[in-house]
């Protein structure tokens, strides 16, 4: 088989879906197989309007109508012609399988010295677009053509990976061609696009172990940092900043879980995430990137307190008042002790343990000692607000999530105390049912129900008046 394939100098590339491979050179002949665009056939002869061919993928011989295929020479002198077709198909939606076949033909025909990153950029683009198309169509209704195109791509060695998330399966290209773009001579634009394709958040498997995820995110950060951006268009620079912001926000949370790295490493990652988000040129932000911008902002917002990770807290002195002290619990667990002038860590007002990251520096006590809020981050993209409240029967703890939906992407944070003992302000940003929502809220402290909310602080007078200056200076919800 290998020697035969190597000897082929002319092949027929199927250009139409559902082309029939027939037993004889006529339309009424029995159909051996259904061919799809991108299938590659060995030409063995001609007869009238038909070509006599052999399909090595299906191991079937037969006849195919000449108008449904394109004979293509694989001699080195024909390589530029093949590359021209690849360039044309690169930005033609729906022609991914055909583009993959032409890219494979070019790689067979071209001398090794002539091959650079361009053809692999196109090959990766075809594969990624096909994976996206298959995922979106699968979510709506099955599409036999896309399924067949995936099989054609697989025959050329293009590998897809299934990522399961929220009871849905998404197909992602494994990125082999894009890795080759980074390793071969290629333009800055091609390398930037390859880096973005290789570092997609939605193609990170949730089944990775913490060690595997940490290694992957460090690799993603390294890939992005190697891209030269000085000559890139502003739109692409923005996309790189957005991706970097999300990756570094995740790394901030992961570093916080590794006490051996120290608070300086956590703060470095947190500041990097915030700075990448701040580097966005909003005047050059493409309309199609609006959702990506919100996505990055929420990721950074969730890990925002990494910029002030705080030092391990010592038992507080009597003069400090209401506060918290953290101590180790079970392996990987942190215990939060609510203390005041009369209650120390050994006799706390309340104790609660969590496997999430407790951002000690976020603790804010009510001026009258009636409550305390604390940021706790159980996932790299999900930060909750703990509210310790004093009831007639004693202290209780309520956990306020960013949204009532399945934890995916969101944060909620304390934004200020309203005079008295019954109201507080909060800011919340989350992805709910595929849509991004931001709200600035007035909460009833006794029930934590939302009494009023607005999509801008200035649209809610009580929020605009009583918002915390410290919150306003550090939040990413105002941007």
Cα–Cα distance list, 423 to 249, 385, 426, 459, 466 (Å): 31, 15, 10, 18, 11
Cα–Cα distance list, 121 to 74, 91, 92, 196 (Å): 21, 12, 14, 12
C-alpha span between 314 and 311 (Å, rounded): 9
Q: List, in sequence order, every residue forming a beta bridge with 187; answer none if it has no partner.
A: none
Which residue from 325, 320, 477 is spatially nearest to 414, judged by alpha carbons? 477
Burial of residue 430 (CB within 10 Å: 0-12, 13-18, 19+) is buried
The predicted pLDDT at position 6 comes to: 44
Q: List, in sequence order, every residue forming a beta bridge with 398; answer none if it has no partner.
A: 387
Radius of gyration of the chain from its Cα atoms, rounded to whole angstroms? 29
Cβ neighbours around 448 below 10 Å, total: 15
Helices (H), 15-116: 79-90, 96-109
The predicted pLDDT at position 316 comes to: 43
The predicted pLDDT at position 319 comes to: 40
The predicted pLDDT at position 5 comes to: 45
447 DSSP 8-state letter = T
Rounded to two decimals, the pTM is: 0.92
- Pairing relation of β-strands 410-417 and 382-391? parallel
The predicted pLDDT at position 242 comes to: 98
Cα torsion 245, 281, 430, 169 to 10°: value is: -60
The predicted pLDDT at position 138 comes to: 53
The predicted pLDDT at position 137 comes to: 60
Cα–Cα distance list, 93 to 202, 244, 306 (Å): 21, 28, 42
Spacing of C-alpha 101 from chain mean position: 28
> Which single residue is written with the structure tokens 């019954």?
422
The predicted pLDDT at position 433 comes to: 84
Mean pLDDT by 10 residues, the chain (479 residues): 55 97 96 97 96 96 97 96 98 96 97 97 98 76 80 97 86 98 97 98 95 98 97 97 98 96 95 98 94 97 91 42 93 95 94 97 94 97 97 95 88 96 96 92 95 95 94 94
The greatest distance separating any two alpha carbons of the chain, rounded to the nearest whole angstrom, comes to 99
C-alpha span between 255 and 236 (Å, rounded): 28
């Amino acid at each position: 088989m290998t020697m035969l394939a190597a000897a082929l100098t002319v092949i027929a590339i199927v250009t139409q879906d559902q082309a029939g491979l027939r037993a004889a050179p006529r339309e009424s002949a029995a159909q051996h197989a259904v061919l799809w665009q991108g299938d590659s056939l060995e030409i063995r002869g001609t007869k009238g309007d038909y070509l006599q061919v052999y399909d090595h993928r299906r191991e079937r011989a037969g006849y195919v109508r000449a108008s449904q295929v394109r004979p293509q020479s694989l001699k080195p002198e024909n390589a530029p012609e093949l590359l021209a077709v690849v360039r044309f198909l690169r930005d033609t939606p729906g022609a991914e399988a055909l583009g993959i076949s032409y890219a494979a033909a070019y790689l067979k025909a071209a001398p090794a010295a002539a091959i650079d990153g361009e053809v692999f950029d196109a090959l990766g683009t075809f594969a990624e677009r096909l994976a996206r198309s298959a995922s979106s169509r699968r979510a709506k209704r099955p599409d036999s053509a896309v399924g067949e195109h995936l099989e054609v791509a697989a025959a050329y060695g293009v590998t897809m990976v299934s990522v399961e998330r929220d009871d849905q399966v998404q197909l992602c290209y494994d990125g082999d061609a894009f890795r080759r773009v980074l390793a071969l001579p290629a333009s800055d634009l091609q390398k930037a696009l390859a880096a973005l394709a290789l570092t997609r958040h939605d193609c990170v498997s949730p089944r990775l172990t913490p060690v595997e995820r940490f290694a992957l995110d460090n690799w993603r950060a390294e890939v992005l940092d190697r891209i030269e951006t000085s000559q890139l268009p502003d739109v692409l620079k923005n996309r790189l900043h957005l991706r970097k912001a999300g990756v570094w926000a995740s790394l901030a949370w992961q570093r916080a879980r590794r006490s051996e790295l120290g608070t300086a490493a956590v703060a470095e990652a947190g500041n990097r995430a915030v700075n990448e988000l701040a580097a966005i040129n909003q005047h050059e932000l493409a309309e199609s990137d609006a959702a990506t911008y919100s996505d990055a902002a929420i990721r950074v917002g969730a890990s925002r307190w990494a910029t002030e990770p705080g030092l391990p807290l010592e038992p507080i002195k009597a003069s400090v008042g209401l506060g918290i002290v953290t101590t180790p619990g079970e392996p990987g667990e942190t215990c939060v002790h609510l203390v005041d002038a009369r209650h120390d860590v050994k006799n706390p007002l309340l104790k609660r343990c969590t496997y999430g990251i407790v951002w000690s520096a976020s603790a804010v006590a009510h001026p009258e000692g009636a409550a305390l809020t604390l940021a706790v981050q159980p996932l790299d993209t999900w930060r909750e607000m703990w509210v310790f409240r004093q009831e007639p029967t004693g202290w209780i703890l309520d956990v306020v999530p960013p949204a009532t939906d399945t934890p995916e992407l969101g944060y909620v944070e304390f934004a200020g105390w309203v005079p008295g003992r019954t109201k507080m302000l909060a800011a919340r940003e989350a992805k709910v049912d595929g849509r991004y929502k931001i709200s600035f809220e007035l909460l009833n402290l006794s029930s934590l129900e939302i009494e009023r909310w607005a999509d801008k602080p200035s649209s809610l007078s009580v929020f605009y008046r009583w918002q915390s200056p410290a919150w306003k200076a550090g939040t990413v919800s105002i941007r």
